[in-house]
């Protein structure tokens, strides 16, 4: 009888613990939704103030940002930020300049609150008990909103152009090799990404892809072994205090019987990449971890057939 009571007591404690985790996860999802609504409102207010400047180029950029889908919103908002960074504010009426500065500051604060909420939600979703018991249910996985953030709202927003070549490296079963890394400025926000890196002066995209694949994996690819570029992705991201306007071109190649050798990592890669593994499309579709490009799970199966020569824009 005593043993039975102990089992019941332990079961009740376990149920209460799981319920507490589920309730916290639900609150985090609500918090993330509320944070996005606040960020969306701050961006909309900025657009209203920008249109009051009566500058046709700025007004058009503000309208594009407001009407963009969630997938394209980052790029549109960053284009508007870049235009605002080049604006001569000394020519504005003091009241309008102050209102613009206030609107920009609210965007900065709302973006930080949103990304903090996303970080906390993702950390909770990655707990083993949450994944094993599927406590996240059908709630969509939240994503960070990357927008150039000046040290102060009045400062110029500088986006550093970064063309890059990336390689979707597949094994014979169709699994893709991904690295897990982080921004040194935000070491707790882990994400997975493909092989590849920035184009150096005088390089062609295919040459960059071959070089990066060898440096990061030890795999020596012949240029003709690369198919593509099959995808193109525009994104804005921050790394170690610098904000990049990235244009990524994706090739793919299949390799067999290779051992991954990361001894060619540069200093930045050694300090910001923590692991690597091979992923199936099914694993990517099921994971709550952050993966770039975001559409990789749905796009991966399309690489099994003959490429039609079209370069598709992805996110």
C-alpha–C-alpha distance, residues 168 and 314, integer Å: 14
Assigned domain for 293 exists: yes
Model pLDDT for residues 7-39, shown as the tens digit of each residue: 888 888 888 888 888 888 889 889 999 999 999
Range 111-139 average pLDDT: 87
**Sign of the dihedral defined by the CA atoms of residues 160, 152, 66, 193, in that order:** positive
Count the domains in the chain: 2
Query: Are 126 and 252 in the same domain?
Result: no
Residue with tokens 């019941």, as numbered in its chain: 8
Q: 173 and 289: one domain? A: yes
Q: What is the pLDDT of residue 150?
A: 60
Question: pLDDT tens across 231-252, in order?
Answer: 999 888 888 888 888 999 999 9
Quick check: 62 pLDDT over 60?
yes
Residues 271 and 213 both lie in one domain: yes
Report whether pLDDT(261) > 70: yes
Residue 180 shares a structural domain with residue 125: no
Residues 191 and 282 in one domain: yes
Indicate the helix (H) or strand (E) that contains 182.
strand 176-183
pLDDT tens digits, residue range 134-174? 888 888 888 888 887 665 545 555 678 899 999 999 999 99
Please give the share of the chain, as a percent, with pLDDT higher than 70: 97
Residues 283 and 165 both lie in one domain: yes
Q: What value, to the nearest 5°, has the Cα angle with vertex 97 and ends 73 and 100?
A: 25
pLDDT computed for residue 1 by the predictor: 55
Helix (H) / strand (E) element for 162: namely strand 160-170
pLDDT at residue 212, as a whole number: 97
Residues 217 and 72 in one domain: no
The span from the CA of 298 to the CA of 296, in Å, is 6
Find, among 177, 308, 200, 311, the residue nearest to 250 by Cα: 311
Instruction: Check whether residue 117 and residue 170 sit in a common domain.
Output: no
Residue 309 domain flag: yes
The pLDDT value given to residue 249: 97
Which pLDDT belongs to residue 157? 58
Note the pTM of the prediction, 2 decimals: 0.72
Question: What pLDDT was estimated at residue 139?
Answer: 86
Span 204-230, average pLDDT: 96
Kindly state the average pLDDT of the residues 274-301.
Answer: 93
One domain for residues 101 and 212: no
Mean pLDDT of the chain: 89
Mean pLDDT of 260-279: 94
Residue 155 within any structural domain of the chain: no
Residue 164: per-residue pLDDT: 96
Give the residue-averaged pLDDT of 90-111: 86
CATH classification at residue 215: 3.90.79.10
Inside any domain, residue 152:
no
Full residue range of the structural domain in which residue 32 is found: 2-132
């Amino acid at each position: 009888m005593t043993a039975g009571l102990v089992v019941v007591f332990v079961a009740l404690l376990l149920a209460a613990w799981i319920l507490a985790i589920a309730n916290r996860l639900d609150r985090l999802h609500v918090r993330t939704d509320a944070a996005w609504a606040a960020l969306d409102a701050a961006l909309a207010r900025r657009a209203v103030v920008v249109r009051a400047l009566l500058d046709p180029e700025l007004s058009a950029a503000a309208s594009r940002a407001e009407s963009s889908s969630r997938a394209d919103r980052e790029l549109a908002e960053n284009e508007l930020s870049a235009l605002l960074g080049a604006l001569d504010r000394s020519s504005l009426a003091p009241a309008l300049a102050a209102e613009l500065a206030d609107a920009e500051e609210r965007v900065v604060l709302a973006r930080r609150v949103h990304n903090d909420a996303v970080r906390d939600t993702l950390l909770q979703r990655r707990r083993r008990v949450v994944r094993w018991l599927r406590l996240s249910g059908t709630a969509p996985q939240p994503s960070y909103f990357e927008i150039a953030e000046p040290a102060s709202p009045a400062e110029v927003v500088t986006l550093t152009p970064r063309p890059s070549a990336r390689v979707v490296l597949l094994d014979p079963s169709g699994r893709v090799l991904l690295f897990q890394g982080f921004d040194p400025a935000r070491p707790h926000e882990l994400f997975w990404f493909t092989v590849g890196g920035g184009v150096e002066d005088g390089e062609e995209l295919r040459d960059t892809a071959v070089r990066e694949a060898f440096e990061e994996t030890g795999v020596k690819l012949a240029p003709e072994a690369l198919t593509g570029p099959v995808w193109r992705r525009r994104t804005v991201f921050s790394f170690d205090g610098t904000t990049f306007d990235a244009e990524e071109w994706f090739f793919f190649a299949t390799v067999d019987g290779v051992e991954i050798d990361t001894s060619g990592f540069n200093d930045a890669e050694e300090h910001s990449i923590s692991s690597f593994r091979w992923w199936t499309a099914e694993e990517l579709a099921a994971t709550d971890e952050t993966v770039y490009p975001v559409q990789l799970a749905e796009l991966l199966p399309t690489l099994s057939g003959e490429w039609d020569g079209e370069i598709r824009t992805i996110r």
